[in-house]
Amino acid sequence: MKNETVPVKIRMATQGQIGEVHCTLIQGVPELTFEEAQTIIGDKSVLVNEVAAVFSRLFLPPSRVETTHELPTTLACWFPRAEEFANACLGVKVNFQEMFNLTDDLLGKNLIPVFDPGTLTNRDAIDGALKSQHLTVYEEADMMEYTGSAAGKTPTLHLIANSIRPDGKTMGKSPNQLREMTARFLSLRGYMLAFGLHCFVTREYLDPETFTWFLENRLPGGSVAYGYWYPARRRVRFSWGYPGYGNGASGARAAISVSLRT
């Protein structure tokens, strides 16, 4: 049975408001030399990206807890914040080192923990990990239509590289090409959870200039899910593509599975 979602009505800015915003931006333009103006005209994308970044910062969801701590650089440093995220956004209290088999070698690596309590559907993950932080989410297809959308029933922990971009060795590859690699990759729901955790801790977004494929999450016709941050619209966007398609901005994220303690 198809899971029908109720679209959220968002009131968009009026033309008058947009005009005021344009005037405000113009006030911030300093006096420019001929060469400086020509540099901007010659490559408008630089200024466009900077303006988009400003708007992203203006409307970033506030962090749950203001902190002056340095950003995590090892898995061991990520765990306290990931446990805080799980409690605040997913409603789950967890101690990763008590629940999972973790080695000292893993704890010292620059990895991000992706925890799925096993009770979340794709819809639950969007609501908890993303929308609870006031992130806007766009779905080209209903998230519950993809394979793997049901709750997994068993808690899982996967570890991915601490990077806003997909893994370098996967960049430019299509889902068909990625399937030929031996690595196991992050799933659609795993990405929702990773995106939410990364935003919660760093106040930054995954994939502002790239997108991540989710090889095992497909629509009935075989199209493959992917996700990214869309700066111009300030939203997390989930879409789909054909298995044979890939470009320089596409990739995947290898996910190391950690077993439960018995």
* Spatial distance between the Cα atoms of 173 and 210, rounded to a whole number of angstroms: 12
For the sheet with 111-116, list strands across it.
111-116, 156-161, 256-258
* Spatial distance between the Cα atoms of 180 and 166, rounded to a whole number of angstroms: 17
Residue 144 falls inside a structural domain = yes
Residue 238 falls inside a structural domain = yes
Do 46 and 163 fall within a single domain? no
> What pLDDT sits at residue 54?
67
Do 170 and 92 fall within a single domain? yes
* Spatial distance between the Cα atoms of 146 and 59, rounded to a whole number of angstroms: 30
Contact criterion met (CB below 8 Å) for 204 and 231:
no
Nearest to 55 by CA among 233, 191, 259: 233
Contact criterion met (CB below 8 Å) for 160 and 114:
yes
Do 85 and 114 fall within a single domain? yes
Do 99 and 126 fall within a single domain? yes
Do 100 and 50 fall within a single domain? no
* Spatial distance between the Cα atoms of 244 and 203, rounded to a whole number of angstroms: 34
> What pLDDT sits at residue 53?
60
* Rounded average pLDDT per 10-residue block, the chain, 262 residues: 41 76 80 77 66 62 47 94 97 96 95 97 98 95 97 96 97 96 97 97 95 97 96 91 94 97 89
Contact criterion met (CB below 8 Å) for 116 and 152:
yes
Token couple for 232 = 């111009």
254 DSSP assignment? B
β-pair partners for 138: 237
Q: Are strands 211-218 and 250-251 parallel, antiparallel or unpaired?
A: parallel
Residue 65 falls inside a structural domain = no
Residue 195 falls inside a structural domain = yes
Do 79 and 114 fall within a single domain? yes
Do 252 and 170 fall within a single domain? yes
Residue 219 falls inside a structural domain = yes
Do 157 and 216 fall within a single domain? yes
Do 21 and 130 fall within a single domain? no
Amino acid identity of 241? G
Residue 141 falls inside a structural domain = yes
Category of 223 on φ-ψ map: left (φ > 0), alpha (ψ -120 to 50) or beta: beta
With 0-12 / 13-18 / 19 or more C-beta atoms within 10 angstroms meaning exposed / middle / buried, residue 229 is buried
Residue 70 falls inside a structural domain = no
Residue 5 falls inside a structural domain = no
Range of the domain at 79: 75-258
Neighbours of 84 (CB within 10 A): 16
Q: How many domains does the chain have?
A: 2
> What pLDDT sits at residue 188?
98
Do 53 and 85 fall within a single domain? no
Do 148 and 98 fall within a single domain? yes
> What pLDDT sits at residue 57?
55
Do 198 and 88 fall within a single domain? yes
